Chain A
Amino acid sequence: MAIVIRKLEEYDEVEHFDCGDEPLNNYLKRHAWMNQQKIAIGVTYVAVEQSAPRTVLGYFTLAASSLKREQFPKKYVRGLPPYDLPLLLLARLAVDRRFAGRGLGAALISEALKIALHIAEEIGCRCVITDAYRDKIAWYAHYGFKPLGDAAAGKTQKMFLDVRTIRAAYDRAETER
């Protein structure tokens, strides 16, 4: 299966996408294009097969964000640069369940983290934040994401991955090539 990951396009076939989670299906079908093109609140990248380049098999959505320096507890401010902390939000990531178990999720997160590195070099980004469903916490932790705050509260869990860790992984992968 030759997979291509690229930005969502207007005529991509998303109507039959089913990852088993209605809010994630609905986001791709109803909001992803609008959010990307019209109101610019998130960019969606899709995985398609080369032989059927319009059918979306998986996707993730990214947005930039930042945390104001004043929001940090005083004891940590000294260790931070004198500006707001730029973050990359991995807002959604889903794979069509008919294509689950074929490494698509790994390919998607790999692309998302490479984009994070690229953004860190181009315009600055300190870490990647995601809001994981409870049953996906272990999957994100596998890639080094750390839970933020109270791990027992809420339906989802905010998780953190330092861009310096991603860069170290990239350098290690390059030297092992």
Chain B
Amino acid sequence: MPPAIKKKSSAPTAQARTQPKVRKTKFQADLAPSEDQMVRSLKAELEMTSNSDFLTDALALFRWAVSERKRGHRILSESAMGERKVLLFPRLERVAPEVNLPQAEIAWTPQEIESLAKLATGKPAEPTPALIRAMRH
């Protein structure tokens, strides 16, 4: 007679065999008491219970900030009255591009746009000797 409860097979399923096991990395940090308190209060405010969730969200936010700064964008907050505060975070400035140019509007005529589109979608022109010399300077 077969047993009432079938023993779970220990052999992996076909799917489990093909998918590599995701290895999780342990993250340990030494925090000063004030930082520890800050983490606890942020977790409480955000209604988070696990440190992993806290770290995952903090990481996503930090990654976004780095990618924005890398593109030369500034990170700022804006109040309801329109008052803006720019985030200045020295470590983020390390990834900011050296050349960050302000944005300007150009007034175009339809003919100019047409020829710009034609040039931008076509084969690039061969550099002139003067341009090659200019690049040698």
Contact = CB atoms under 8 A, between A and B. Distances in A.
Indicate, yes or no, whether A interacts with B: yes
Interface of A: 40-43, 62-67, 71-73, 76, 79-80, 85, 87-89, 91, 106-107, 109-111, 113-115, 118-119, 122-123, 126-127, 129, 142-144, 146-150, 158, 160, 162, 164-166, 168-170, 172-174, 176-177
B72 A122 contact: yes
Interface stretch (B22-30, B58-66, B106-114): B106-114
A173 to B, nearest CB: 4
A89 B128 contact: no
A162 B119 contact: yes
B106 A65 contact: yes
Top 9 nearest A-B pairs by Cβ distance? A79-B121, A169-B127, A63-B104, A149-B112, A76-B117, A164-B124, A149-B111, A110-B134, A173-B135
B99 interface: yes
Interface size grouping (class) on chain B: 35 or more
Interface string B62-99: 00000000011000000000000000000000000111
Contacts, number: 152
A143 B108 CA distance: 23
A64 B101 CA distance: 6
Interface of B: 71-72, 97-99, 101-106, 108-109, 111-121, 124-128, 130-137
A110 B137 contact: yes
A146 B125 contact: yes
A73 B117 contact: yes
A152 to B, nearest CB: 11
B103 to A, nearest CB: 5
